[in-house]
Amino acid sequence: MFDSLDAVWTHAWARLLAGARSGADPFHQGVLATVSAEGPQARYAVLRAVDPTGGTVAFHTDRRSPKRAQLEADPRVAWCFFGHGEQVRLSGTVHLHLDDAEAEAAWAASRRASRQNYAGAGAPGSRVHLPGDGGPPGLGAPPLDAEAMAFARGNFALARLRVQALDWLSLSAQGHVRARFAREGDGWQADWTTP
Ligand SMILES: Cc1cc2nc3c(=O)[nH]c(=O)nc-3n(C[C@H](O)[C@H](O)[C@H](O)COP(=O)(O)O)c2cc1C
């Protein structure tokens, strides 16, 4: 099936596009690793946008979260996805969009339930007294009023990853297959690698 690196390249980006489109797809979320002073930090993030031509992907986050400071100190990340018997590993650098037109467009396109995620009173990871305190309102909560919406928007950030390398691994009883694509100049260096 994967007899050319071009076919793998197209296929890997199609997997990412499908993940961004559907919450039911295993590529809808992946484990995102950042660099911190305490060592690596890994957590899931939802794949929100994919641009195969530009070689970029994006996630949304709360700008009060620890990962924002980590990304500002060191924008290098790895983002790892698994599904359909395939692993896709992305690495590169993240640019944070807070109040520019790109952030605005991402906010405008996001759904009500997603926006609620940014309406919690406390910064993610803050110590609280009771379970759930300071977090975003639940789905049963009334819609955000204008003030709460403005507050949520103020906590929102779009994070765009410029992919430097894409590593694709297919697991199969017939034999595993792996390929690596790395930016080189205006293009991509493509190689088969040992699985
Ligand atoms: C399936 C899943 C998807 C998630 N998606 C996101 C996301 O898109 N953005 C985000 O900031 N956090 C997301 N989270 C929460 C993070 O994993 C993490 O708990 C939170 O962002 C705090 O991370 P930090 O303390 O490293 O900043 C998700 C968690 C899960 C389990």
- Domains along the chain? 5-193 (2.30.110.10)
Closest approach atom of ligand 1 to CA 125: 25
pLDDT tens digits, 57-85: 999 999 999 999 999 999 999 999 999 99
**Tens digits of residue pLDDT in 23-40:** 999 999 999 999 999 999
Band of residue 178 on the pLDDT scale cut at 50, 70, 90: very high
What atom in ligand 1 is closest to the CA of residue 34?
26
pLDDT number for residue 91: 98
Task: Determine if ligand 1 sits within 6 Å of the CB of residue 65.
Answer: yes
| CA of 46, closest atom in ligand 1 | 8
CA–centroid distance for 27 within its chain: 10
* Residue whose token pair is 């467009």: 105
Read off the pLDDT band of 50 (50, 70, 90): very high
Ligand 1: which of 22, 43, 72 to mutate, most ligand atoms within 8 Å of CB?
43
46 lines ligand 1 (CB under 6 A): yes
45 Cα to the center of ligand 1, angstroms: 5
CA distances from 109 to 34, 48, 103 (A): 26, 10, 10
Mutation to probe ligand 1, out of 44, 70, 114 (largest number of atoms < 8 A from CB)? 44
pLDDT digits (tens, 9 = 90+) for 97-132: 999 999 999 999 999 889 999 999 999 999 999 998
Q: Whose CA is nearest to atom 18 of ligand 1?
A: 43
Instruction: Find the 61 Cα to ligand 1 centroid distance in Å.
Output: 7
Query: Which atom of ligand 1 is the closest one to the Cα of 41?
Result: 26
Residue 175 — pLDDT band, cuts 50, 70, 90? very high
**What ligand 1 atom has the least distance to the C-alpha of 67?**
27
Structure tokens belonging to residue 79: 């983002």
pLDDT at 139 over 80: no
pLDDT class for 13, splitting at 50, 70, 90? very high
DSSP 102-169: HHHHHHHHS-HHHHHTT--SS-TT---SSTTTTSPPPTTSPPP-HHHHHHHHHHEEEEEEEEEEEEEE
pLDDT tops 90 at residue 134: no
| All residues at 6 or more sequence positions from 192 whose CB lies less than 8 Å from its CB, including other chains | 5, 177, 178, 179
Residue 2 pLDDT level (bands cut at 50, 70, 90): confident
- Assess whether the C-beta atom of 110 lies below 6 angstroms from ligand 1: no
